[in-house]
Amino acid sequence: MKLKVKFNALTAFWILIVAILVAPILLFLLNAISPRSLSQGSEWFTLRAFTSIAHGQFAQGLFNSFILGVLVAVLTAFLATVIAWIVLRTNSPIRRVWTFFVFALLLAPSYLIALGWQRLIEQRGVFDILGIPSAGIRNLFYGPVGIFIVLAVKGLPFAYLVISNSMRSLGGEFEDAIRVHGGSRIEAFKTMATLLSPAIWSAIAIVFAETISDFGVAATFSSESHFPIATYSLYLAIENFPANYPVGAAVGTVLLFLIVIALLLQAKYLRGRSFRTLSGRTRPFRTIELSRLGKWLSSGFVIAILLVALGVPAFGALSASALSGVGSPFSGHAWTLMNYKSVINSPSLHNPLLFSSKIALIVALFASILAAVCARLLTQKKAGAGSQILDFILLAAVALPGIVFAAGYIFAYNLPLTNSLGIHLYGTTTLLGLAYLAGALPSTSRSLVGNMSQLQESLSEACRVHGSNAIRTWIDVTMPIIAKPLLAAFCLTYAGTLLELPVSQLLYAPGAEPLSVGIDKALANYDYGGGTAMEVLGILSALAVVAVAYSLFKLLAPRGWKRIGVARGK
Amino acid sequence: MENNQGQLVTVENASKFYGELAALNSLNLTIEPGEFLVLLGPSGSGKSTLIRSLAGIEKIDQGRISFADQIMSEGDKHVAPEKRNLAMVFQDYALWPHLTAEENVAYALKRRSLSREESTKLVLEMLDRVGLANKRGNYPSELSGGEQQRVALARAIVARPSLLLFDEPLSNLDADLRERLRIEISTLTREIGASALYITHDQSEAFALADRIGVINKGAIEQIDKPEKIYNKPATRFVANFTGTAGHFRGIVNSVDEKYCNVELGGDLLKARHTTNLEPGMEVDILVRPAATSFDSTGKNRIKCSITDVAYRGRGYDHAIETKYGSLTGVFDDSAHDRGERMEVSIDPQRCIAFQIADSKVVEGLARI
């Protein structure tokens, strides 16, 4: 009997998903238990890799990551709840600017935040040059405290977005009901905290996963602070010669296991509890009028957090890029734009920025298109097994540490089997691009799922019964309605790819270095001024592209497209 | 633009399954050219599945759907919605939020290949017809629910389709608007001469709109006929129940003639019409239409009752009453009676119908209830 395989666009989509998302990760993780099946050892099944990471540096790294994850998650959930309350429930003046800073924090990779702090407090850094005593803070920062602060700064926007979304939908009637039935302010607050608890648990789980997956801080502080963390141990296992893939895979598996445990605990807590707080009858809550002192205190609290999170690292990067001789014991120091000039004139400094800009543009474009397809498949009314599998793959991939992802790519596309299939992508820019795409796809798809699920099926159905075919319906109805979220997804993917670290570090092709690798190399060559100028230019270029994209949308998009999501009456 | 001739629509043995559940169960239906057919049924009866299958949004698993002599769905054949020359008004309006009222209506004319001027003229005429010419530039979010549904109606009608489908279009509107829009739907649809299928769970809407009514239950048509026939001669207890009752009494048939039966309620004897073959001793349910009841003390067929509630209705008062055998609502009188007042309710035998209770056996001797 002849097996008939139907090849269509959906089959091609699935082949792509397996090739760029599923196969590399599974093959890499398989190393941990069956090295021989992938020509990495002599045993078909063994737990040797796990026993070898059960002590020494690896065990210490995993333990440190776990403790950091728990502490950072709890602290950020607390801070995010307080900030969300100040921003959403009070008339504190700080609420007007906070949203902008949340997105700035979301865009800034942890290694750039860490580097900003480093430039300030390192020996012969900006503080030393400016004569500000920094030995104390230096000793404190190059260790668990510094790592903790940077990771907390990175976790805060995630926790805030989850908790603030929930708080926004918590109507005023719950509080009113408690008060009119004789409850005190404290009782009202307790009830509100209970109603918010699903969001708080979600925030803790998400920040825990983000924290133990982070590679940026591992690549900067951890390597210099003698405080091992798991992602850096994994990096060393596959980057040292000879590479020890089974051990790297074992560390990756334990990291994934910890993330799964966190998500399961969250699910267990939420099971059977339904705190649905959003309905068509939800009444807006009353804004709490703060006293003058209250306004000062609330604004001061948020500003202090912003200073630590963004102000200090931004000042570190800007000042280091505008000072000559940072990090050098010999030369004099002066305020100058020479570092920027040298980035513009030196190909070794500006080529990484140009390269990353180009590849980020291509990746963002493809990721947005594919993410729209994924989101549509996930939200269609008749969700079949395919949608459920895709949902699981994307969810698992969101939780996957970037470093495990990159390691999976190195391993899978370096296998003799892959070469014998005629796939020679290892060490090419194409592979880097595919890894960027695969890394961006899960979160980009997830960011579109919410908007896509709000797109009522009847809008498309109305289009079909009034004479348009499926493609025309996508162009005429689906695209305009999701245009704005799609633009946001494009911008986030662009900025994320431009500044990406772990995949860039492990997969860049010789002669085509991405921005993060270029910065790292400049810093490794003690060109602190040039490296930080690259950082600043990289961030400015990302902001410029976002500004251009939104301006073009504002100028060129039809009026109706721009109205979607705008509140009535505006 | 010329009106399209209304479409002859035939549905033969159509079945549609969702897992184990049969949403359509060998359903048969014909809509004559230019006819306004209303399908009346409760939630989950299969009416939405049927209308969506006619639109081509859903595929039937078995059976056939034809428009005139053209097969739309049968086996693997399934004509796409855009090729069926129909239009539909959705329950949630389904207006495209990024297009203005004018653009929404104009969209339906794209398939007609008209010049821009012709298209604009038709759209404005149609918007004027539904009273929204002054809101042509408004986006759906700037229109009220009733206005949105009128735009949806204009969009459906502007291209003069041969078949119009209405998926509970008035269910999201308040009572006053519902009545006004119902009249607009009725007149506009008949003006363009299209065949129309309208689904609803509201019997008053069905009776007001339909040339014929089909009552649908568990994926099959229980009865299809003119509104008067459906009301006066319901074929089944379900049809009678779904087309409006004040309440029901259970009893045992005492005697039967050609048209009426006497039913022993347990002390009182009530005369009722019957539509199926009944025998003395059978256990029956008597369904009482609201119009059957009055406080006429000279009437026959009277039962003692007490007033439990009274509601002012402008032209008089509706009463809820309690009898020894059950309660009735909507008992109308020109004057109000006090709660707790003892009265006698008179029931017109012509407007109450006895149905045999499924699986009931003939009971020998006296009534058991």
Q: Do B323 and B268 form a contact (C-beta atoms < 8 A)? A: no
Q: What is the pLDDT of residue A569?
A: 40
The backbone region for B11, taken as left when phi is positive above 0, alpha when psi lies in -120 to 50, beta otherwise, is beta
pLDDT in tens, A257-267: 888 888 788 77
Question: What is the β-pairing status of strands B9-18 and B212-217?
Answer: unpaired
pLDDT in tens, B328-365: 999 999 999 999 999 999 999 999 999 988 766 555 54
Question: What is the β-pairing status of strands B352-356 and B283-288?
Answer: antiparallel
Q: Do A169 and A160 form a contact (C-beta atoms < 8 A)? A: no
Cβ separation A468–B80 shorter than 8 A = no
Q: Of A224, A44, A84, nearest to A142 (Cα)?
A: A224
pLDDT in tens, A523-570: 888 888 888 899 899 989 999 999 999 999 999 999 888 877 554 443
Q: Which residues of B touch A451 (CB under 8 A)?
A: none
CB of B319 less than 8 A from some CB of A: no
Q: What is the pLDDT of residue B304?
A: 93
* A458 → closest Cβ in B94, B142, B165: B94
CB of B80 less than 8 A from some CB of A: yes
Cis peptide before A242 (omega within 30 of 0): yes
CA nearest to A557 within chain B: B98
What CA–CA distance (Å, rounded) separates A413 from A423?
8
Give the Cβ contact number of residue A62 at 10 Å.
23
Give yes or no for residue A427 having a pLDDT over 50: yes
Cβ separation B55–A461 shorter than 8 A = yes
Q: What is the pLDDT of residue B4?
A: 61
Q: Which residues of A touch B81 (CB under 8 A)?
A: 461, 464-465
Residue A382 — pLDDT band, cuts 50, 70, 90? low
Cβ separation B110–A458 shorter than 8 A = no
* B82 → closest Cβ in A458, A469, A563: A469
pLDDT in tens, B36-83: 999 999 999 999 999 999 999 999 999 999 999 999 999 989 999 999
CA nearest to B52 within chain A: A461
* A462 → closest Cβ in B56, B88, B142: B88
Q: Which residues of B touch A482 (CB under 8 A)?
A: none
B22 has which bridge partners? B17
Give yes or no for residue A1 having a pLDDT over 70: no
Q: Do B157 and B164 form a contact (C-beta atoms < 8 A)? A: yes
Share of chain A above pLDDT 90, in %: 21
pLDDT-wise least confident of A81-95, A110-124, A268-282, A453-467: A268-282
Q: What is the pLDDT of residue B361?
A: 58
Sign of CA dihedral B291, B297, B302, B303: positive
- Shortest Cα–Cα distance, B351 to chain A (Å): 41
pLDDT in tens, A166-175: 887 776 667 7
Q: What is the pLDDT of residue A41?
A: 74
Domains, chain A, ordered by start: 61-233+290-316 (1.10.3720.10), 344-396+424-563 (1.10.3720.10)
Give yes or no for residue A229 having a pLDDT over 70: yes
Q: Do A401 and A212 form a contact (C-beta atoms < 8 A)? A: yes
Q: Which residues of A touch B87 (CB under 8 A)?
A: 465-466
Residue A280 — pLDDT band, cuts 50, 70, 90? very low
Give yes or no for residue A498 having a pLDDT over 90: yes
Cβ separation A466–B155 shorter than 8 A = yes
Q: Which residues of B touch A474 (CB under 8 A)?
A: none
What CA–CA distance (Å, rounded) separates B44 from B342?
41
Q: What is the pLDDT of residue A568?
A: 44
CA nearest to B152 within chain A: A462
What CA–CA distance (Å, rounded) separates B162 from B201?
25
- Shortest Cα–Cα distance, A178 to chain B (Å): 32
CB of B111 less than 8 A from some CB of A: yes
Residue A332 — pLDDT band, cuts 50, 70, 90? low
* B88 → closest Cβ in A465, A468, A476: A465
What CA–CA distance (Å, rounded) separates A369 from A360?
14
* A464 → closest Cβ in B82, B99, B156: B82
Q: What is the pLDDT of residue B264?
A: 93
Residue B125 — pLDDT band, cuts 50, 70, 90? very high
Cβ separation A463–B107 shorter than 8 A = yes
Optimal mutation site among A457, A465, A559, A562, interface B, most CBs of chain B within 10 A? A465
* A564 → closest Cβ in B95, B97, B103: B97
pLDDT-wise least confident of A29-43, A195-209, B288-302: A29-43
Q: Do A465 and B86 form a contact (C-beta atoms < 8 A)? A: yes
Q: Do A523 and A111 form a contact (C-beta atoms < 8 A)? A: no
Q: What is the pLDDT of residue B33?
A: 95
Residues from A contacting B (CB-CB < 8 Å) are: 456, 458-459, 461-469, 476-477, 480-481, 558, 560-561, 563-564, 568
pLDDT in tens, B255-289: 999 899 999 998 899 999 987 788 899 999 999 99
- Shortest Cα–Cα distance, B210 to chain A (Å): 23
Cβ separation A466–B80 shorter than 8 A = no
Cβ separation B92–A481 shorter than 8 A = no
Q: Do A40 and A124 form a contact (C-beta atoms < 8 A)? A: no
Give yes or no for residue B368 having a pLDDT over 50: no
Q: Which residues of B touch A456 (CB under 8 A)?
A: 92, 94
What CA–CA distance (Å, rounded) separates B53 from B63?
11
Q: What is the pLDDT of residue A4?
A: 52
Optimal mutation site among B78, B98, B197, interface A, most CBs of chain A within 10 A? B98
Q: Which residues of B touch A481 (CB under 8 A)?
A: 96-98
The residue type found at A546 is V
Residue with the larger pLDDT of the pair A112 and B47: B47
- Shortest Cα–Cα distance, A342 to chain B (Å): 48
* B98 → closest Cβ in A468, A469, A560: A560
Q: Which residue shows structure tokens 């296992």?
A: A237
Q: What is the pLDDT of residue B56?
A: 93
Cβ separation B96–A462 shorter than 8 A = yes
- Shortest Cα–Cα distance, B95 to chain A (Å): 7
Cβ separation A465–B86 shorter than 8 A = yes
Q: What is the pLDDT of residue A284?
A: 56
pLDDT-wise least confident of A469-473, A559-563, B145-149: A559-563
Give yes or no for residue A275 having a pLDDT over 60: no
Cβ separation A464–B80 shorter than 8 A = yes
Q: How many CB pairs under 8 A join A and B?
A: 82
What CA–CA distance (Å, rounded) separates A68 from A155?
12
Give yes or no for residue A279 having a pLDDT over 50: no
Cβ separation A564–B99 shorter than 8 A = no
Q: Which residues of B touch A465 (CB under 8 A)?
A: 55-57, 81-82, 84, 86-88, 165
CB of B84 less than 8 A from some CB of A: yes
Q: Which residues of B33-69 are buried (b: 16+ CB within 10 A; e: fewer)?
A: ebbbbbbbbeeebbbbbbbbbbbbbbebbbbbbbbee
pLDDT in tens, B176-202: 888 888 999 999 999 999 999 999 999
What CA–CA distance (Å, rounded) separates A151 from A218?
10
B212 has which bridge partners? B37
Cβ separation B96–A568 shorter than 8 A = no
Q: How does DSSP assign A60-128, residue by residue?
A: HHHHHHHHHHHHHHHHHHHHHHHHHHHHHHB--TTHHHHHHHHHHHHHS-HHHHHHHHHHHHSTTSHHH
Contacts of B42 (CB under 8 A, 6+ apart): B201, B217, B242
pLDDT winner (highest mean) among A140-149, A215-224, B158-167 = B158-167
What CA–CA distance (Å, rounded) separates B289 from A69?
70
Mean pLDDT over all residues of chain A? Answer: 83
Q: Do B185 and B117 form a contact (C-beta atoms < 8 A)? A: no
Residue A158: C-alpha distances to residues A75, A99, A204 (Å) = 13, 12, 10
What CA–CA distance (Å, rounded) separates B135 from B123?
12
Q: Do A260 and A200 form a contact (C-beta atoms < 8 A)? A: no
What CA–CA distance (Å, rounded) separates A137 from A146?
9
The mean pLDDT value for A271-283 works out to 49
What CA–CA distance (Å, rounded) separates A96 from A102?
12
Mean pLDDT over all residues of chain B? Answer: 90
Rounded to 5°, the CA angle B251-B252-B256 comes to 120
pLDDT-wise least confident of A110-119, A348-357, B77-86, B184-193: A110-119
Q: What is the pLDDT of residue A410?
A: 83
Give yes or no for residue A181 having a pLDDT over 50: yes
Optimal mutation site among A382, A454, A466, interface B, most CBs of chain B within 10 A? A466
Q: Which two tokens stand for residue A268?
A: 């267990």
Residue A243: C-alpha distances to residues A23, A190, A248, B282 (Å) = 20, 53, 9, 89
* B98 → closest Cβ in A465, A466, A561: A561
In this prediction, the answer to ipTM > 0.95 reads: no
CB of B98 less than 8 A from some CB of A: yes
CB of B172 less than 8 A from some CB of A: no
Cβ separation B87–A481 shorter than 8 A = no
**Sheet strand arrangement including B326-333:** B293-294, B342-347, B302-312, B317-323, B326-333
